[in-house]
Structure 1
Amino acid sequence: MPTPLYRYSFLVLFLLGMISCTQHSTAPANVAFHNLTSKYNALLQAQELLGEANKTIFANRRDNYAALLPVLVPIDSQAALLVTNELASVIKKASLVAERHQNAKYLDDAYLVLGQARLQQGDIRNAIETFKYINTNYPDGNARSAALIGLMRAYTEEGEYNVALRVADVVRNLPLSKSETLAYYLTKAYLHQQRREYAVAAAILEESLPMMPKNDRKARVYYALGQLYELTDKPAKAMSQYAAVQRNRPNYDLSFYARLNSLLNQPNQDPKVSFNRMLRDRKNADLQDQIYFAMGSYEERRGHIREAIPYYKRAASLAAQKPEQLAAVYLRIADLSYDPLQDYESAQMYYDSTVQLRPRNLGNLAQITEKKRGLDQFVMHLRVIKTEDSLQKLAAMNPTQLDKYLEKVVSDRQAKEAAEKRLAEEKAARARQEQMLAASGIQPDNVQASSVWYFYNPNSVQRGRQEFQEKWGTRKLEDNWRRVTKETSLTSDNSNITAVRQPGTGDPSNPQATQAVSPLQAEVESMKKTIPFTPEALDASRKKQELAYFELGKLYRLTLNENQKAIQTFEQLLTLFPQTQYESETLYLLYLATEGTPRQAEYKNRLFQKFPDSYYVRLINRSSLTPLTAGAESEAQNLYAQAYETYRQGDYTNALSQTERGLQAYAGNALEDKFALLKAMLMAKTQNAEAYRKALNDFIQNYPGSNLKPMAEEMLTAAKGK
């Protein structure tokens, strides 16, 4: 009986299927099979997963509307953790196309999805390589334009803006679909925004907005455009963009900030009434810090800097649980305190707080940290000056006045600490009471104070504490506190203390008797130990002050660029310490700080007359001299060799004469530090030990970069020892 024909047809189809599975064949049936399989078994699923992952990341973004809003949500590997599994699946499915369907026409699309998934993961270097691979191997493919747009975005995220611009120039000349054109515009606007080219970014966004559908993404771009117009001083256009935000389905926070910024840009109108209305709105309860920040910004824009600071501080107190926003507020206060207020102590404190929070949204954190370090030094030296000045004044007071003053200081501090402790205890008691009432289901407002247990009523606790102290005094918390072996004594500041009477205590005839000392007196005696009563301690205190004035002047001059304050500080140093060891450098810095004024000649003359051989005199002379010729350098080397040989032969007087001639005739020569050290060594042979030590000190101070400095320091140590 013959085999049915349909059985052979199944066999033929099976064989055709097996042949078509070969991914390197170009046969039509084979290619069609791989096109179909790659598109529907892998690529389509990968694209849908990537789209969902992008939506999730956008929905869970953390925008800081108080700062300049990026046009695109920046790539963040931490944010991508929300969709780790989805992105892993995208990469796996896109990779299957490359592994199993080499002859499919969707291969470049698969690589594109792979690169986009890697970019969202934060694996930017591999994403760049993937996009480059598409551009090189599929120049005529459908995915090339999108790959180059992705490459532009990746380079922007890496901060390689010039490379991103070159890629943008290539994309501009390619045929783009509507969606690719929108992606290109948004990416290019983002690039120019990162380069702080705000006007260019705003112009590009104007072109891109008509292509966007009405949704929260479009509202977000309108808000960013409004901020860009603010930065380019176009308040009317900014207000127009903020109004457009409200028409594009923004979330509540975005709508709130758009209204807030719109109020700040209204011409000739005081927005305080609107601000106060927003503060009273319950929906803004967790956004009050931003309202106060806007109120501070309004005062700042009017030039009322000192009026703005309290609003910013109020904003900071309300943003305590929002580290990113708190850092932005601290930074604003710090910047205003630094300039124009020049309140460097406050600036240092707020810069320090900003750095401690380590905000991720501040791109200039390194510069802020560097500025903070300079201010740390400034505040340290300023405090040394104030502290030592106070201690010296205390040392000059008569003993009776000093005791009264210190007792008052300690009493005031103790009273303040006690008040703060009492307030904290009352708050804690109130919190416990409310917690207890909440647990019992009773509303605190409906409960009379008398119906609450004694220890949960802060007023009762405070009243009881006062009654106890009036009767028994301040007692240490311990067992058997009412025993007759204890007694209450009154201190000089009318506070009660308890002293334990041991047998024989208080008996003058008993040599082992001990006198009870109050805590106040003990603290006063402790404070006295820091006061410089002896001449040696007073001299050490003045030396600390002397160094602090010198360093403070240098910080004003070299770090803060405050020339006038530098001059005042240096002059104060010379007035308070006429014999200061920093006089030569101080006069030189005053010479530089008074450039272009009649006083410059005065400081120059003082320096030249008092320190004719100093390094700073040679610096001034060197700046007015032409560089030494090769012949002059050779003459200087010969003279040094001659002087050194004369020194070795023991003819110290002639050697000193030759050395001084070398320093004067060949100022700025390559061997200047050798001449100077040889001169110091000759001072030991021709003058006394004090002159020798002074010469070594001058060398160390005048030639800090010389490789002979360690030798000079060893010689000075030996000279001081002997």
Structure 2
Amino acid sequence: MKNYATHNLKVILFSLCSCIIYACGSQKDNATTRSMQNLTARYNYIYNAKVILNTHQQELAEAYPENYDQVLPVYLGPEIDSNFIVKDGNGAKTMDDIIKKAQIIILEKSYSNYLDDAYILLGKANFFKGNYFNAAEYFDYVIKNYKNNTKSYVEALNWKARSLMQVRRLNEAKLTLDTLAYMIPDLKKNTAEPLATLAQLSIYHHKNAVAISYLKDAVKASHDSQHKIRWTYILAQLSEQQKNYSEALLSYRKVQKSNAPFEMYFNANLNRIKINALLSGKKINKQDELLALLKDDKNTDYIDQIYYQIAESLIADEAYAEAKKYDLLSIQKSTKNQYQKGLSYLKIADLNFKHFHDYLNAKLYYDSAVNTLPKTYPGFELIVKKNQNLEYLTKRYETIAKEDTLQNIARLPEKEREAKIQAIFNPVGRPDLVNTQVSPNTSPLAFNLSESNKPQTSSTFYFSNAAALSKGYSDFKKKWGNRKLENNWRQSIRSSAQTTNQDITNNMATALANNAGIDNPGLSDKTAEIKAYTTALPLTAGQLAQSNQKIIDAYYDIASFYLQELNDPEEAEEVYQILLNRFPGNNHLAASYYGLFLIYKNKDQTAATNYKNKILKEFPGTVYAKTILDPSFSLKQTELETTLNKEYNSIFEQYQKKDFTGVMQMADQVLKNKEENYLSPQYAYLKAIAIGRTNHVDTLLTTFNGITNSFPDDKLITPLVKDHIAYINEHLQDFQKRKIALIDFDPNEPPFAIRQAPAPSVTARQEVIPAVQQNNKIESAAVTNVPKTEKPIPAVPIKVEGMFSTAVSTVYYYVIDVADASLTLSSSRFGIGQFNRGNYSGQNLRHQLKEFDNDQLIYVGNFSNFDEAKTYADGISPQLKQIMKVPASIYTGFVISKENFDKLTSKDILNKYLEFYKNNY
């Protein structure tokens, strides 16, 4: 018996050694090798790797910072910019373990049936490490090489689409999912996750109805309870967005009754209360149920969200002041949830801006929202833009408020008017700023400290503890960097409208001392202000029309700015509707209808069609109607303008070469072929000048008179030609003696010139732009001196932003920035000269060129004050298309003081000034 056992042991040991030797030897593709590799690959590597992956996914679900204010992601994956990846050191290590196991299968188990699983594991491990492009490549390899394995093929398609969606390559993800969607009806199992992925893509494309359909099918097909709970909550959110409140309520209740995480349960309960109140239509005490949640100790960490929801319900009831109080409470109680704090900051900013018109505080709260919300927050860039451009919008809202106030006062009886104006300028209880005394050494904080609240000096007090101070300072620098010690130190985005309280505090004592002996309209001389305000009242029909036009223009500017600059169609739609409701017959109807057509085009086809028909019926000849009928109209128009500009520049070159016969022939051909084009008056003018260089004055006068008759409404050439005709008629005898009307190329003959304006009798301006060398004497303006306008510089704080300021200057320029250094601007400067001589004859306006690497600046001056320059800008702007003869997209006009202009030395500085100009003027 003993020998038998010994024999069996020898046989077993021999077999085992043989297997080991065989395994260590060269592998061959046979049944034994495949069986052994399948066994070890499946249980030693695949099984263990999947256990590690499932554990990591559970940890990710527990640690993922959910944002219940937005639609939850259907599946979880680390965001590229999130802090989670940085902190997830152990998670990265476990993913590396999975990668090693997968690589062993690929390298050492090449005859096994689990190579596709190994590549899928490599893809998933890279996905959860945030290496989405690498993950997509691994899944793509499986898709191309394992098409016959349906399970692996479907799984790879699904995860490749997920990887692409994580980096927002939605078009590529859609192509992948199109293949998957085609296969799903034929699949008998494992369809839940592909359906969920299709739902996520639909959410990204804002197709909520489609997403709801996919998610419902995914919930039915899923055997994972946590997935079903999560997807049910998302179904509720999507139904709520679709305003299908009964469906949303049903889904929220399912989540409440399930084994959901407490935070999800709490938010489902919160939304259920909100929808119940909405469906019941209660107007009184609808916040009571939300307030009751504050009494539950389990909700301690969610008090900020409760207050926020109460504020939201109050906003829905238009109780804005009360809503603001609860939003402030939400901020105060937000200790852990920075996201919620950011939302509350944003809501208060919107309330201040839209409803309270407190623009300075709106600016501060927008900045706090920008610094608190993550950059991945939907619409984050929009908030930043709104913050930066707040002043542009603010000025227009202030115009609306001012004109509305003036109109309301104008409707009052005369005695009540006077009382109302007095109340505005002398409000009851207003402290007298002149009598306010501020010590230069007094800290702003001192005003908030009473004797009973003075800082303690014991060693337990934070500011008496050197170690605590040192640590606090170190932590502060890590988070905020080296910030200047000043009020509103958190603000990273500054603008000129925001003269900081710190600057005001520092300069208050000096300002008060300086103002003590000066008549300050804001403090002492109220009579002039009251008189000016009274004069501005729109008491006549004409004045009321002008006031209304200011309001109309302001609303239109705001709506256009929201739509075109901020890309915020919802806000634009609201302002357009206000404009149309208040002024249904305004002069921006066509543009407003087109703006609304664009807004509704992708969300409400019925409304879009309605506005489209309005444009085509009421404004058939506008560019908006032509663009609707032919979407390529704008492109064709641009091409046509480019052709016309080239033709004009070609003729102008002939004019510069003094080939007057060629000018006449080319101008005739263009005028004959394109009689209706917008440059026709200028072609006709070049032809007339060429005729004047080669013919008698009678022919020239006939040609000039033909221009005034053919183009009576032209504001660029016709005024200039009329001035030429008047000059010729004044000196007709001299011109009749000439064989050729315009012979100023002959030094023996007197040149043709514009009529001289009488020289002023006052002191001439000392500083002028040097004369520009013109191509022809006919286009040279007379040089006369313009009186200098003295304006006192007010003793008030000047707005300063970086190197630029709004300080009053004695010299201003109007500047046209052309963002292309390669263009020859001779014809553009010629056109500016035409405008100046036709509209500003005798005003000593000169234009000069300043060049950067990529830009050219044509600047016109001198203007003695900003209003003069702005009036010039308003006059020339509508003519720039005819004047510049370059694409409108590459030039910009603006006004600038000489002091600021001298600082323009590069494109970068120019861009900074343009931002400064937009914010301040």
TM-score category, normalised to shorter length: 0.5 to 0.7
Q: Residues 119 and 423 (structure 1 numbering): CA distance in 2 closer, same or farther, change over 3 Å?
A: farther
Which range moves more in the overlay, 35-44 or 425-434? 425-434
Q: Is the 8 A contact 2:438 2:509 kept in 1?
A: no
Question: Using the alignment, how far apart are the partners of 2:213 and 2:260 within structure 1?
Answer: 22
**Alignment correspondent of 1:645:** 690
Q: Residues 257 and 385 (structure 1 numbering): CA distance in 2 closer, same or farther, change over 3 Å?
A: closer
What whole-Å deviation, never above 9, does each CA across 1:121-152 have from its counterpart, x for those lacking one?
A: 22222222221211111101241111111122
Is residue 43 from structure 1 mapped to residue 46 from structure 2 by the alignment?
yes
Shift of 1:63: 0.6
**Alignment correspondent of 2:556:** 557
5 Å-filtered alignment, 1:227-626, equals 227-266=237-276, 267-268=279-280, 270-302=285-317, 304-305=319-320, 307-319=322-334, 322-335=337-350, 348-379=363-394, 405-410=432-437, 420-423=447-450, 426=453, 428-429=455-456, 524-527=512-515, 531=520, 555-560=554-559, 591-592=587-588
5 Å-filtered alignment, 1:47-58, equals 47-58=50-61
Shift of 1:168: 3.0
Shift of 1:656: 8.9
Q: Is the 8 A contact 2:249 2:275 kept in 1?
A: yes
Question: Using the alignment, how far apart are the partners of 1:658 and 1:304 within structure 2?
Answer: 70
Is residue 201 from structure 1 mapped to residue 211 from structure 2 by the alignment?
yes
Q: Residues 163 and 9 (structure 1 numbering): CA distance in 2 closer, same or farther, change over 3 Å?
A: closer
Q: Residues 708 and 50 (structure 1 numbering): CA distance in 2 closer, same or farther, change over 3 Å?
A: same
Is residue 62 from structure 1 mapped to residue 65 from structure 2 by the alignment?
yes
Question: Using the alignment, how far apart are the partners of 1:63 and 1:213 within structure 2?
Answer: 23
**Which structure features the higher share of helix residues?**
1
- Residue 171 of structure 1 is aligned with which of 154, 163, 180? 180
Query: Unaligned stretches of 5+ in structure 1?
Result: 388-392, 398-403, 437-518, 571-588, 597-620, 718-722
Q: Is the 8 A contact 1:331 1:350 kept in 2?
A: yes
- Residue 755 of structure 2 is aligned with which of 686, 695, 703? 686
Question: Using the alignment, how far apart are the partners of 1:327 and 1:380 within structure 2?
Answer: 26
Q: Is the 8 A contact 1:289 1:314 kept in 2?
A: yes
Shift of 1:15: 5.7
Question: Using the alignment, how far apart are the partners of 2:577 and 2:14 within structure 1?
Answer: 103
Shift of 1:190: 2.1
Q: How many correspondences in the alignment?
A: 567
- Residue 102 of structure 2 is aligned with which of 84, 94, 105? 94
- Which residue identity does 1:296 align to in structure 2? A
What whole-Å deviation, never above 9, does each CA across 1:511-536 have from its counterpart, x for those lacking one?
A: xxxxxxxx99865223457947999x
State the secondary structure of the residue aligned to 2:99.
helix
**Alignment correspondent of 1:219:** 229
What whole-Å deviation, never above 9, does each CA across 1:63-119 have from its counterpart, x for those lacking one?
A: 112333222234324424411111122223212322333332111111111111112
Is residue 16 from structure 1 mapped to residue 22 from structure 2 by the alignment?
yes
- Which residue identity does 2:877 align to in structure 1? Q
Q: Is the 8 A contact 1:70 1:193 kept in 2?
A: no
State the secondary structure of the residue aligned to 2:111.
coil
**Alignment correspondent of 2:408:** none
- Which residue identity does 1:298 align to in structure 2? S
Is residue 122 from structure 1 mapped to residue 130 from structure 2 by the alignment?
yes
Shift of 1:647: 6.7
Q: Is the 8 A contact 1:189 1:205 kept in 2?
A: yes
- Which residue identity does 1:145 align to in structure 2? V
Shift of 1:347: 5.1
- Which residue identity does 2:272 align to in structure 1? S
Bigger CA radius of gyration: 1
Q: Is the 8 A contact 1:652 1:686 kept in 2?
A: no
State the secondary structure of the residue aligned to 1:102.
coil
Q: Residues 423 and 262 (structure 1 numbering): CA distance in 2 closer, same or farther, change over 3 Å?
A: farther
Q: Residues 679 and 430 (structure 1 numbering): CA distance in 2 closer, same or farther, change over 3 Å?
A: farther
What whole-Å deviation, never above 9, does each CA across 1:148-169 have from its counterpart, x for those lacking one?
A: 1112222332334444344334
- Which residue identity does 2:686 align to in structure 1? A
**Alignment correspondent of 1:185:** 195
Q: Residues 700 and 273 (structure 1 numbering): CA distance in 2 closer, same or farther, change over 3 Å?
A: closer
TM-score, reference length from structure 1: 0.63
Q: Is the 8 A contact 1:127 1:154 kept in 2?
A: yes
Shift of 1:552: 8.9
Query: Unaligned stretches of 5+ in structure 2?
Result: 1-9, 403-420, 426-430, 464-506, 537-547, 561-574, 593-620, 627-636, 638-670, 728-752, 758-781, 785-835, 846-871, 899-921
What whole-Å deviation, never above 9, does each CA across 1:589-609 have from its counterpart, x for those lacking one?
A: 98547999xxxxxxxxxxxxx
What whole-Å deviation, never above 9, does each CA across 1:390-409 have from its counterpart, x for those lacking one?
A: xxx99xx9xxxxxx944235
Question: Using the alignment, how far apart are the partners of 1:104 and 1:317 within structure 2?
Answer: 61
State the secondary structure of the residue aligned to 2:191.
helix
- Which residue identity does 2:22 align to in structure 1? L
Q: Residues 214 and 143 (structure 1 numbering): CA distance in 2 closer, same or farther, change over 3 Å?
A: closer
Question: Using the alignment, how far apart are the partners of 2:222 and 2:521 within structure 1?
Answer: 75
**Alignment correspondent of 1:139:** 147
- Which residue identity does 1:556 align to in structure 2? Y
- Structure scoring higher RCO (CA < 8 A, sep ≥ 6) equals 2
Question: Using the alignment, how far apart are the partners of 1:523 and 1:232 within structure 2?
Answer: 57
Q: Is the 8 A contact 2:274 2:313 kept in 1?
A: yes
- Which residue identity does 1:259 align to in structure 2? N
Q: Residues 713 and 17 (structure 1 numbering): CA distance in 2 closer, same or farther, change over 3 Å?
A: closer
Q: Residues 31 and 655 (structure 1 numbering): CA distance in 2 closer, same or farther, change over 3 Å?
A: farther
Query: C-alpha root-mean-square deviation of aligned residues, in Å?
Result: 5.6
**Alignment correspondent of 1:511:** none
- Which residue identity does 1:36 align to in structure 2? L
Question: Using the alignment, how far apart are the partners of 1:236 and 1:220 within structure 2?
Answer: 19
Shift of 1:244: 1.9
- Which residue identity does 1:694 align to in structure 2? Y
